[in-house]
Amino acid sequence: MKFDKPATTNPIDQLSVVGKSTDRIDGPMKTTGTATYAYEHKDLPGKPAYGYILGAAIAKGRIESINLSDAKSASGVRAVVHYQNCGQLGQGDKNTATLLGGPEIEHYHQAIALVVADTFEQARSAAELIDVTYKTEKGAYDLAEIKDSGANVGDGFWGESDTRIGDFDNAFSSAPVKLDQTYTTPDQSHAMMEPHASIAAWQDEKLTLWTSTQMVDWAQKDVAKTLRVPTANVTINSPYVGGGFGGKLFVRADAIMAALGAKAAGVPVKVFLQRPLIFNNTTHRPATIQRLRMGADRSGNILAIGHESWSGNLKDGSPETAVSQTRLLYRGEHRMTQMRLTELNLPEGNAMRAPGEAVGLMALEIAIDELAEKLDMDPIDFRILNDTQVDPEKPERPFSQRQLVQCMQTGAKRFNWHKRNPKPAQIRDGRWRLGMGMAAAIRGAPVENSGARVRLETDATITVETDMTDIGTGTYTILAQTAAEMMGVSLDKVTVKLGASALPVSCGSGGQWGANSSTAGVYAACVKLREKIAVKLGFNPDEVVFSTSLVTAEGRSLPLQAAAIHQPIEAEDTIEFGDLDKQYAIQTFGAHFVEVGVDTYTAEIRIRRMLAVCAAGRILNPKSARSQVIGGMTMSAGAALMEELSVDTGRGYFVNHDLAEYQVPVHADIPHQEVLFLEETDPMSSPMKAKGVGELGICGVGAAIANAIYNATGVRVRDYPITLDKLL
For ligand MOS, the binding residues (CB under 6 A) are 214, 244-246, 249, 351-353, 355, 510-511
Write the CA distances from 141 to 44, 152, 193, 360, integer angstroms.
43, 19, 28, 22
The Cα 413–Cα 343 span in angstroms is 47
Q: How far is the CB of 358 from ligand MOS (least distance, A)?
A: 9
| CB-based contacts of 13, cutoff 8 Å, min separation 6 | none
Residue-by-residue DSSP string for 631-684: HHHHHHHHHHHT--PPEETTTTEES--STTTS----GGG---EEEEE-----TT
Q: Pick the closer one to ligand MOS by CB: 487 or 625.
A: 625
Q: How far is the CB of 323 from ligand MOS (least distance, A)?
A: 17
- 254 phi and psi, to 5 degrees? -55, -45
- Which residue's Cβ has the minimum distance to ligand MOS? 246
- With the C-alpha atoms ordered 370, 375, 376, 381, is the resulting torsion angle positive or negative? negative
Q: How far is the CB of 53 from ligand MOS (least distance, A)?
A: 23
CA 415 to centroid of chain Cα atoms: 28
Strand 234-237 versus strand 206-211 pairing type? parallel
Q: Pick the closer one to ligand MOS by CB: 245 or 272.
A: 245
Q: Pick the closer one to ligand MOS by CB: 74 or 255.
A: 255
Q: Pick the closer one to ligand MOS by CB: 386 or 624.
A: 624
Three-class SS state of 536: helix
Q: List residues bridging with 595 in a β-sheet.
A: 436, 609
Is 343 among the residues known to form the active site?
Answer: no
Q: Pick the closer one to ligand MOS by CB: 38 or 352.
A: 352
Q: Pick the closer one to ligand MOS by CB: 486 or 635.
A: 635
- Among the listed residues 194, 320, 357, 695, the single catalytic one is 695
Q: How far is the CB of 349 from ligand MOS (least distance, A)?
A: 12
Q: Are the beta carbons of 242 and 163 closer than 8 angstroms?
A: no
At CA 323, angle to CA 317 and CA 326, rounded to 5? 160
Q: How far is the CB of 244 from ligand MOS (least distance, A)?
A: 6
- 371 phi and psi, to 5 degrees? -70, -40
Q: Pick the closer one to ligand MOS by CB: 208 or 634.
A: 634
Q: How far is the CB of 510 from ligand MOS (least distance, A)?
A: 3
Classify burial at 148, counting beta carbons within 10 Å of its beta carbon; exposed 0-12, middle 13-18, buried 19 or more: exposed
Q: How far is the CB of 158 from ligand MOS (least distance, A)?
A: 12
- 367 phi and psi, to 5 degrees? -60, -40
The Cα 337–Cα 363 span in angstroms is 14
Active site residues: 695
